[in-house]
Amino acid sequence: MNSRHNKSYFYLVLTTILSFYACNIFASAAETTPEIFIFDDRESQGNACARVVIEKIKENQIQGKRTVLGFATGSTPIFFYNAFIRMVKEDSIDLSTTITFNLDEYVGLPPNHSESYAYFMEEHLFCELAYPHYPLGFRREHIFLPQGMAKRYADLSTDEQQALKIQFGCTHVEDSLTSEEENWILQFRADQYESLIDTLGPIDIQILGIGTNGHIGFGEPGSSFTGTTMVVNLTENTRRDNARFFDNNIDFVPYQAITMGIGTILKAKSIILMANGANKAAIIAQTLSSPISEQLPATALRQHSSVSFFLDQYSAENLSLCEQ
Ligand code: PGA
């Protein structure tokens, strides 16, 4: 080897060593251990979660700060919402400055569809705690959910109609949008949602469920840990799991959703992941013990400094089998 080769060999070895150490420093600095709380049943789990959220709202109020909450849907958080409603009313908590962002929404379901997440939130929370039903309640203008319906021109806001016109350079005469226009508008909304979270956030507490494939929000396996709000294709596994809400017929389950990205979720100041039922035991154990990987999105939570797992005893039943 001549001296030029010697030199480049030296630099190659040096950069390999440096990048090896850099990777390890980042990997070890980034890895954290979530706090784990195990409850006898879903009721005590929901009560505990509601108490944490209410304490945060009170603490922020004392400091003259508003609270920003990240909400989830699905069967998991229902007991949390029940407890939250009860405790808010018992303590006359003022929610008038509290801002809420939901994780996700199906594409193609209007807000009045009984399985849309807008409908879920109305049914399980806002019908009880939004103003004027509850005078100290959430103000409508502080409630944000991704909007997944963009089939017709009439589904778009005036700003969106304008943006569509600028993008596609035409005046819309057809009522229905082409699939290209629909996709563009959904991504436009996703970007706006992310900006809104950045402007009004950070989210103080983000509530999460978990899918049996390890998804959080609708961040399916393979999602980038730095991903922002986006339109995603739902996996067959997720559509099969959710068919129980659609007359047990997978054909009725939408194929796409608009969801916060894993990166969006990780921007929250603190995160509570809730899980219950024996069907979540395997994924909870894997989330806590498998290598951190984009193939198992919930492992991203092990790179966040303030994450708690609120588990019922059934979803926690495999934990003694895994090293923590
Ligand atoms: P589930 O869904 O609460 O209905 O089990 C959780 C999820 O898919 O995130």
Q: What is the pLDDT of residues 147-195, one digit of tens each?
A: 999 999 999 999 999 999 999 886 666 689 999 999 999 999 999 999 9
Atom from ligand 1 closest to the CA of residue 274: 3
From the candidates 104, 155, 160, 181, give the one annotated as an active-site residue. 104
The token pair that represents 53 in the structure block: 């959220």
Q: Which residue in the list 155, 160, 204, 215 is annotated as catalytic?
A: 215
Round the CA-based radius of gyration of the chain to a whole number and report it: 22
- Give backbone dihedrals phi and psi of 39, rounded to 5 degrees, phi first: -120, 155
How far does residue 184's CA lie from ligand 1's centre (Å)? 28
Q: Indicate whether residue 76 lines ligand 1 (CB < 6 A).
A: yes
Asked whether 223 lines ligand 1 (CB < 6 A), one says: no
What confidence tens digit (pLDDT) does each residue in 194-240 have? Answer: 999 999 999 999 999 999 999 999 999 999 999 999 999 999 999 99
pLDDT digits (tens, 9 = 90+) for 96-144: 999 999 999 999 999 999 999 999 999 999 999 999 999 999 999 999 9
Condensed to tens digits (0 to 9), the pLDDT of residues 24-33 reads: 433 444 689 9
Instruction: From the CA of 277, give the closest atom in ligand 1.
Output: 5
What secondary structure does DSSP assign to 61-108, as a single string? HHTT---EEEE--SSTTHHHHHHHHHHHHHTT---TT-EEEESEEETT
Cβ–ligand 1 distance for 24 under 6 Å, the answer no
* Ligand 1 within 6 A of CB of 214: no
215 carries an active-site annotation: yes
Asked about 213 being catalytic, the answer comes back as yes
Q: Is 263 in the pocket of ligand 1 (CB under 6 A)?
A: no
Catalytic residue from among 105, 155, 220, 241: 220
- Residue 113 among the catalytic residues: no
End-to-end CA distance of the chain: 49
Region 291-305: what's the mean pLDDT? 97
Q: Which residues, at least 6 apart from 286, have a Cβ–Cβ distance to it below 8 Å? A: 214, 296, 322
Position in ligand 1 atom list of the atom nearest CA 208: 9
- pLDDT at site 174: 67
- Residue pLDDT, tens place only, 38-85: 999 999 999 999 999 999 999 999 999 999 999 999 999 999 999 999
Q: Is the CB of 217 under 6 A from ligand 1?
A: no
Closest protein CA for atom 8 of ligand 1:
211
Write down the residue that tokens 């809400």 correspond to.
245
How many Å apart are CA 257 and CA 109, to the nearest integer? 10
Is 220 catalytic? The answer is yes
CA 76–ligand 1 middle distance (angstroms) = 6
Q: From the candidates 213, 237, 294, 317, which is the catalytic residue?
A: 213
**253-283 residue pLDDT tens:** 999 999 999 999 999 999 999 999 999 999 9
The rounded distance, in Å, linking the Cα atoms of 96 and 137 is 5
**What is the distance between the alpha carbons of residues 43 and 115, in angstroms, rounded to a whole number?**
23
Q: Is the CB of 74 under 6 A from ligand 1?
A: yes
Mutate to test the pocket of ligand 1, among 45, 71, 75, 240 (most ligand atoms within 8 A of CB): 75
The response to whether residue 276 sits with its C-beta less than 6 Å from ligand 1 reads no
Q: List Cα–Cα distances, 106 to 71, 214, 217, 258, in angstroms.
A: 15, 18, 11, 6
